Copies of this chain bind each other. A is one copy, B any other.
Amino acid sequence: MDAKIKTLVESLIMNADTSFVGSVNDQGFPAIKAMLPPRKIDGIHAVYFSTNTSSLRVTHFRNNPKACLYFCDRRSFQGVMLQGFMEVLEDQDSKDMLWQEGDTLYYSGGVTDPDYCVLKFVTQSARLYSDMRTESFLFA
């Protein structure tokens, strides 16, 4: 993936107002849920979200970590899909890393709330939809 494309993909991820997160349920059906934008990205290799430990999504990913993320810009008709694995992190360092002021609105117990956890998505491949063309990339 050249630098220009990497910049475009990072910009699509960071500027999207919504993240669409895909999982596979126990019956083998795909599931899609809208989530807030990621809290942090590490290049295109890792994308971090905060979520409720008790959510159905977390149950899906514990049973089957295969996942995808989709980000798009409706004005430019550009989109990117990342496929990879979703890890559910409950260690305090990860929880501290993503915590933001105001999060007690979602997690009343604060940064150590057991219902607060981190989803870390690790990218295996990317598919870019841009200018009516489609390009795929594999990550090492």
Identify the A interface with B (CB < 8 A): 17-18, 20, 22-25, 27-34, 56, 64, 66-70, 72, 74, 79, 81, 83, 129, 134
Shortest beta-carbon distance, A137 to chain B, in Å? 15
Contacts of A67 in B (CB 8 A): 29-30
Q: Considering the complex, give the chain B residue whose CB is closest to the CB of A21.
A: B32
* Interface SS of A by simple majority: strand
> A31, B24: Cβ atoms under 8 Å?
no
What separation, in Å, do the CA atoms of A67 and B31 have in the docked complex? 8
Other A-B pairs beyond A18-B74, A24-B29, A29-B83, 10, CB < 8 Å: A27-B66, A28-B64, A28-B66, A29-B66, A29-B67, A30-B32, A31-B68, A31-B83, A33-B70, A33-B81
> B24, A68: Cβ atoms under 8 Å?
no
What separation, in Å, do the CA atoms of A116 and B37 have in the docked complex? 35
> B74, A20: Cβ atoms under 8 Å?
no
Contacts of A79 in B (CB 8 A): 33-34
Known: A20-B70, A22-B22. A32 touches B29 (CB 8 A): no
